[in-house]
């Protein structure tokens, strides 16, 4: 049922000489999805995108677009368009000429080109700027032209290579919302490459987290954030604590020892034997501080001592030292006023629900 996917990658590998840039990646990207490839620089996400666009050909494996095997089809014969990281606007053409380029190449009638270019300019809020050269536009405006130039062709799939990377923070956040709204409006499949986990969480329907050429985890932003299945993913997406533990029981209902305190966890990575040194991954906001262990029935509880606190407005960020000398970060929302703050030096009980604890390889 390959035709159910906008883009499908089957065991795609790309080598540059001896360097494996993309290593046996398989993806299925559904129609109309906002799908992010997320990972640090050099993880293979851009190479993956370039293989879908046709700028690179896979060393092994297949790329399918709308169920069609692409083989060695050159970029101009693929039903996808790309928004480049540096926008790659044609400097010698006006905004209108840039946007019309793809339609002209496909020999769309002149009056239809004029109409569609006008519509696009309106959609990206650039009406009246059509006669300008790209160099006369701000970064954000150039970004919109790049988007319009791709979307005007109504591609099956839009490929975006870190399109917001060059913008300043405020503009980037505004454009994130705009992009997401635009994607919902046009209903085109977006494949979005980014190294910014916040961006990926905000905009995506699905995320593929990549590292060293491999896909480590696929899922919705919530699944990836709540249920990371590797230390890399837990670390790369959001903030997390890795508390050193000894495995007491693996498998379906894992139990680990922190110092001499045994707690339950919801999930353990495969292949961790009993007695192994591991880490318990737990997000700072999942942990609550209490005066006494008995205040948190039904929770995993360990003792600690507050070493530091940082007031952040909506919440307070505590650093708590626990048995064995490691430190745990705890974020508690400031629901009530400051008299409930725990002070540095205070002995506290750290409590969390066992189904937030995930046991992973130590390194």
Partner 1 sequence: MYRLFGRYPSLRAWLLLLPAALWLFIFFIAPLFIVLAYSFLERGTYGGVEWVFTLENFQRTFDPLYFNTFLRSFYIAAVTTVITLLLGYPLAYYIATRPPERRGTLVLALMIPFWTNFLIRTYAWLTLLRTNTGLINVTLLNLGLIKEPLPLFGNDFAIILGLVYGWLPDMVLPLYAALDRLDVSLVEAASDLYAAPRNVFWRVIWPLSLPGVVAGSMLVFIPSLGAFVTPAILGGGKSLMIGNIISNQFLAAHDWPFGSALSFVMMAVMLAATLIYFRSTTESDRRQL
CB atoms within 10 A of CB 259: 16
Residue 345: how many CB atoms within 10 A of its CB?
A: 8
Closest CA to 64 of 24, 22, 15, 28: 28
Q: How far is the CB of 85 from partner 1 (least distance, A)?
A: 8
Computed over its alpha carbons, how large is the radius of gyration of the chain? 25
Neighbours of 9 (CB within 10 A): 23
Torsion, Cα 231 234 236 239, to 10 degrees, reads: -130
- Residue 27 CB, shortest distance to partner 1, in Å, is 20
Min dist CB 107 to partner 1, Å, is: 9
By beta-carbon proximity to partner 1, the closer residue of 74 and 198 is: 74
Q: Return left, alpha or beta for 305; rule: phi > 0 is left, psi -120 to 50 is alpha, else beta.
A: beta
**Residue 92 or 170 having the CB closest to partner 1:** 92
Write down the least CB distance from residue 113 to partner 1, Å: 13
Rank residues 107 and 343 by Cβ distance to partner 1 and give the closer one: 107
Choice between 33 and 161, CB closer to partner 1:
161
Note whether 237 and 224 are within 8 A (CB): yes
Closer residue to partner 1, CB minimum distance, 47 or 241: 47
Task: Give the footprint of partner 1 on this chain (CB under 8 A).
Answer: 53-55, 74-77, 80-82, 84, 86, 88-92, 101-102, 105-106, 133, 135, 149-150, 153
* Dist CA 94 CA 98 (whole Å): 6
State the helix-helix crossing angle for 110-123 and 95-105, rounded to 10 degrees: 130
Nearer to partner 1 among residue 82 and residue 241 (C-beta): 82
CB of 76 to partner 1, least distance (A): 5
Residue 81 CB, nearest approach to partner 1 (Å): 6
DSSP H/E element including 75: none
């Amino acid at each position: 049922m390959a035709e159910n996917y906008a883009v499908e990658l089957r065991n795609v590998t790309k080598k540059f000489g001896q360097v494996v840039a993309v290593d046996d990646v398989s993806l299925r990207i559904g129609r109309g999805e906002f799908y992010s490839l997320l990972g640090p620089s050099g993880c293979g996400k851009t190479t993956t995108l370039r293989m879908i666009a046709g700028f690179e050909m896979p060393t092994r494996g297949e790329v399918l677009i709308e169920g069609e095997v692409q083989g060695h089809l050159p970029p101009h014969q693929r039903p996808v368009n790309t928004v480049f990281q540096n926008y790659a606007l044609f400097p010698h053409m006006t905004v209108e000429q840039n946007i019309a380029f793809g339609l002209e190449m496909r020999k769309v009638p002149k009056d239809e080109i004029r109409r569609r270019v006008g519509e696009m300019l309106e959609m990206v809020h650039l009406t009246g700027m059509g006669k300008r050269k790209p160099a006369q536009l701000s970064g954000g405006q150039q970004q919109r032209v790049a988007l319009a130039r791709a979307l005007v062709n109504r591609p099956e799939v839009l490929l975006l290579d870190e399109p917001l990377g060059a913008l300043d923070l405020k503009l980037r956040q505004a454009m994130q919302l705009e992009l997401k709204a635009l994607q919902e409006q046009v209903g085109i499949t977006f494949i979005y490459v980014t190294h910014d986990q916040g961006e990926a969480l905000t905009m995506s329907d699905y995320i593929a987290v990549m590292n060293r050429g491999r896909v480590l985890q696929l899922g919705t932003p919530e699944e990836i954030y709540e249920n990371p299945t590797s230390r890399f993913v837990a670390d790369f997406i959001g903030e997390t604590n890795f508390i050193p533990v000894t495995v007491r029981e693996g498998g379906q209902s894992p139990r680990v020892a922190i110092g001499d305190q045994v707690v339950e966890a919801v999930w353990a990575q495969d292949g961790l034997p009993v007695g192994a040194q591991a880490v318990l991954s737990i997000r700072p906001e999942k942990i609550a501080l209490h005066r006494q262990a008995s205040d948190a029935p039904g929770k995993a509880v360990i003792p600690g001592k507050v070493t530091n606190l940082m007031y952040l407005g909506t919440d307070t960020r505590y650093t708590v030292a626990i048995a064995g000398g490691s430190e745990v970060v705890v974020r508690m929302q400031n629901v009530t006023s400051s008299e409930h703050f725990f002070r540095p030096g205070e002995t506290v009980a750290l409590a969390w629900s066992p189904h937030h604890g995930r046991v992973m390889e130590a390194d």
